[in-house]
Amino acid sequence: MDRKEFLGLVGTSIGAIVLGSCLQSCKKQNNSPTAPTVDFTLDLNSSTNSALLSNGGYLYSNGVIVAKTTTGTFIAVSQACTHQGSAVIFQPVGNSFQCNSHGAKFASNGTVTNGPANSNLKQYTCTLTGTSLRVNG
């Protein structure tokens, strides 16, 4: 083996190691936390839930982010970003959800609209009866 062959072999081996380690770390980034199955009711008369009295307001409860859209509809999705688990926030402009950790965005129904997340948030059903908001799914 001459010098050129040796350097070519070493370069290929290092490239394979670097590529393998990158692929492993990329896989770990989308750990898709398991979305909880829930069934709970929020009393909108309670000061604890007052964020939901205003259009564009939101709160977290039982692993779920519950929001009141700019048109007054209640929506709910799992709060843990499917990228690495940070809590998403509600964005009244566009009635969407966003993760500030790495910029993932989700539609009002939890569908991914911008990576790095590659799986959707779980959507829950919201049912308003009087001043009681049931969230389940």
Which SS3 state, helix, strand or coil, does residue 71 take? coil
Which segments within 4-131 are labelled E, that is strand? Answer: 39-43, 58-61, 64-68, 74-78, 89-91, 96-98, 105-106, 112-114, 123-129
Write out the two tokens for 131: 């001043």
In the complex, least distance from residue 85 CB atom to ligand FES, rounded to whole angstroms: 6
Residue 83 engages ligand FES in binding (rule: CB under 6 A): yes
Residue 99 engages ligand FES in binding (rule: CB under 6 A): yes
Q: For tokens 């050129």, what's the residue?
A: 4
Q: Considering the complex, state which of residue 8 and residue 85 has its C-beta at the smaller distance from ligand FES.
A: 85
Beta bridge partners of 97: 90, 106
In the complex, least distance from residue 107 CB atom to ligand FES, rounded to whole angstroms: 15
Considering only 35, 104, 121, 135, the residue that binds ligand FES (CB under 6 A) is 104
In the complex, least distance from residue 82 CB atom to ligand FES, rounded to whole angstroms: 8
- Judged by the rule CB under 6 A, the positions of this chain that interact with ligand FES are 81, 83-84, 86, 99, 101-104, 116-117
